[in-house]
Every structure is written in structure tokens, then in C-alpha cells.
Amino acid sequence: MSEVQPQFEIKSAGQLRADVTLTNLLGLDRAGLEAFFIANGDKKFRATQVMKWIHQLGVTDFQQMNNLSKELRNKLSEISCIQNLQVAEDQISTDGTRKWLLELPDGNHIEAVFIPENDRGTLCVSSQVGCALDCSFCSTGRQGFNRNLTTAEIISQVWLAAHLLEEEKKPDRKITNVVMMGMGEPLLNFDNVVRAVRIMMDDFAYGLSKRRVTVSTAGVVPAMDRLGDTLDMRLAVSLHAGNDELRNELVPVNKKYPLEELMAACRRFIDKQNSRSRITFEYVLLDGVNDKPEHARELIKLLKGIPTLMNLIPFNPFEGSGYTTSSKQAVSRFSEILHNAGMTTVVRKTRGDDIDAACGQLAGKIEDKSRRHRRFVEPRFGME
């Protein structure tokens, strides 16, 4: 593991706080930028010019945007800004995974992680400061919840990662995929997430195809329907159990939207997407809790007829979780049962665990408004 020093200047949280009255262009999608320029008496095509400067060329100083008139550059400096988050910590794991702790203008911190693999580079992005959903095996949930991220705060994670990785000057350090699987439940921050995804997919910004952007949900059913009506992209569902009793315990939002409703929403989502769509189901394997053959058989029954990619994730322990990692034998037995039933199944390799960047380990540093973290002075199962 090593620390990395950024080579370009990033504004401090104090400076960010001072600029809150200006429109942060980083958070405007193409339609938003077009509306911004029209409202300020300019032409709509300025939007694509400015998007390219910001997202593709990484320019945050209006004076460098030399295809805009001097007058427009000065005006933009008066009424708007391009403000990124501050990098508080920058760590690289021995396996090449890179994690950033990013400071928000209000002093909270979130995390983003870059995971390099053979044929891709995946950036895991946060959508909220903490998470209100309180999944029992999740380090983020344990931290409590503070607020939603703005569109600019979500897209800043992509901007910073893209440009900090570029500084490494290595061919395999490019973002090819984005997964909204960091801190937070993306669908509870719907409008900002949708705007951010639009910027990720815009050819004048990051140009990611719809198959390379995944939004994850723990199962907020009405928002899944809304997402299916709004965007054509990949959906991942954090499943973790194939029956309501166990899922109520592991993923408490299941009490509001039980499995029958969740599966119906998955089917509706698939129907709205193109014919090659499938849903990724995330399943964290917890020793003795949800990793037995009967649990695998429950999944086969539950997911029948839904085009599925099953992502099995060996639990990444964190202090006080009360859970332990499934044995290798249990993981391969579970995977084999699904595979033999014809389900596309992948066992996710643990990445970046020496820098606490593995799945379910993102914690940031947040001021908890839910006061949930106070419940976890003792390990969970010691208390219940």
C-alpha cells in the first residue's frame, strides 16, 4: 500500500465553502448546461464546448477555454465555477486498487475506488454521505447517514479519478466502467444519480456506453420502476438472501419491499430495457448465515425466468460486524449449485482489502444524523 500525492492544485474545503453561491458547472448535464447558457443570453452549443473542456480535457480554469470569447470567459468566471472535491487521502493497494478519501465542502468525507482488472478499469462511486438502509453486513450502513451527494459531488469522483489515473501514465489505468456501488443507496438520491449517469454516458463528457454504467439498489421498488422509465443502463440488485425472513434481517428495506415485489420490479425493469439486458444480483456470502446449499436452491427458484448474472462476494470482515467469511469450500459449493442450474455465476475476487477498499468496506468519515453508529459499540450479534 502507498500514498499518492496529486500533482495539480485542488481547492481546500474552506475555498469550496466560499464559492457556494456560484453555479458549479461540474454538476450540470448537457440539458442543464444548455439551459444555463440560454438563461445567460448565450447559444446552446456552448454546452458541448464547455463539457469537453471540463470532462475530457480536465480544464477547470475558464481562461484556458480558448474557443470561448474573452467576454464569455470573464462572465463565466463571475457567475459560475468548476469545483471538485478535495482529496484527503489517496492510497494504492498492492493489487493496484486505488482508493480516494474525498472531503466535501461541509467537512464530511466519502470514498471512491478504482479497481483494475485484465480487460477493464472499474470505478466504484458513492451516491450518499453514509447510508440510511442499515444492511447488517455493511460497513457504510454502520456509519449512519448524513445527506445525499449533489450531482457535482458524484461526478467529481469520476473527474478526479480520471485525471489522477491519467497522471500515472500507464495504459491499463483508464476508467472503462462505473458502478454506483460505493457509499449510499443510489435510488434514494434519484435525480442527482440520474443526472450524473447522463454526464458519464454523454459523448462530450466520459462517453461510457449503457452497458458500462451500473446503478445498484438494495431494492427500492418504486425507484426501480422510475429508473427503468428514465434510463437504459445496467441494474444491480443487492440480494443477499432468497427468503424474506433472512433478507429482513440482512437488508431491512426488504420489510417495506419484500422479495415478491422486488422480483416483480426486476421483471418490469428487464421488459423496459433492450433484449440483451440482464440484472446483476449481488450476494455477500456470510459464514453459516446464507451460504448453505439450501440457500443456493432458494435463489434458483426465486430467480427463475429473470436473465441473471449472479455475483457472489465473499464477506470482507470489518471490526464489530459480527459476521465471518465463508470457507472456500462453502463458496465453491454454493457457486457450483447455481452454475449447475444454468445460472451465470461469478465469484468476485477480493480487491484492495489492505486499504479497506473491498466491497462493503467503504466507510468515509461522516457526521451521522441518524445516530445509528451508537448502537454498534458492541458487535451486532452480541446485542440481539
**Annotated catalytic sites, by residue?**
111, 359
Q: Return the number of the residue (54 or 285) whose C-beta is nearest ligand SF4.
A: 285
Question: Quick check: 218 binds ligand SF4 (CB under 6 A)?
Answer: yes
Q: Return the number of the residue (110 or 131) whose C-beta is nearest ligand SF4.
A: 131
Q: Return the number of the residue (53 or 100) whose C-beta is nearest ligand SF4.
A: 100
For residue 280, CA distances in Å to 90, 116, 233, 234 come to 29, 19, 12, 8
Question: How far apart, in whole angstroms, are the C-alpha atoms of residue 134 and residue 112?
Answer: 20
**How many C-alpha atoms does 5 have within 13 Å on its Cβ side?**
1
Cβ neighbourhood burial of 145 (10 Å; 0-12, 13-18, 19+): buried
Q: Return the number of the residue (328 or 369) whose C-beta is nearest ligand SF4.
A: 369
| Least Å from the CB of residue 142 to ligand SF4 | 8
From residue 168 to residue 207, the character string flagging contacts with ligand SF4 as x (rule: CB under 6 A) and all else as - is: ---------------xxx----------------------
CB atoms within 10 A of CB 61: 10
Question: Quick check: 303 binds ligand SF4 (CB under 6 A)?
Answer: no
Question: How far apart, in whole angstroms, are the C-alpha atoms of residue 180 and residue 236?
Answer: 9
Q: Which of 23, 86, 140, 177 forms a contact with ligand SF4 (CB under 6 A)?
A: 140
Q: Return the number of the residue (48 or 350) whose C-beta is nearest ligand SF4.
A: 350
Question: Quick check: 131 binds ligand SF4 (CB under 6 A)?
Answer: yes
- Per DSSP, the three-state class of 73 is helix
Q: Return the number of the residue (54 or 286) whose C-beta is nearest ligand SF4.
A: 286
Q: Which of 16, 68, 82, 133 forms a contact with ligand SF4 (CB under 6 A)?
A: 133
Question: Quick check: 112 binds ligand SF4 (CB under 6 A)?
Answer: no
Check if the beta carbon of residue 10 is closer than 8 Å to that of residue 26.
no
Question: How far apart, in whole angstroms, are the C-alpha atoms of residue 317 and residue 286?
Answer: 10
| Least Å from the CB of residue 84 to ligand SF4 | 23
From residue 219 to residue 248, the character string flagging contacts with ligand SF4 as x (rule: CB under 6 A) and all else as - is: -------------------x----------
- For residue 147, which of 184, 181, 111 has the smallest C-alpha distance? 184
| Least Å from the CB of residue 94 to ligand SF4 | 25
Cell 425507484 maps to which residue? Answer: 223
Cell 473527474 maps to which residue? Answer: 159
| Least Å from the CB of residue 360 to ligand SF4 | 7
- Per DSSP, the three-state class of 74 is helix
Check if the beta carbon of residue 227 is closer than 8 Å to that of residue 219.
no
Question: Quick check: 135 binds ligand SF4 (CB under 6 A)?
Answer: yes
Check if the beta carbon of residue 53 is closer than 8 Å to that of residue 72.
no
Q: Which residues pair with 122 in a beta bridge?
A: 115, 177
Positions that interact with ligand SF4 (CB under 6 A): 131, 133-135, 138, 140-141, 183-185, 218, 238
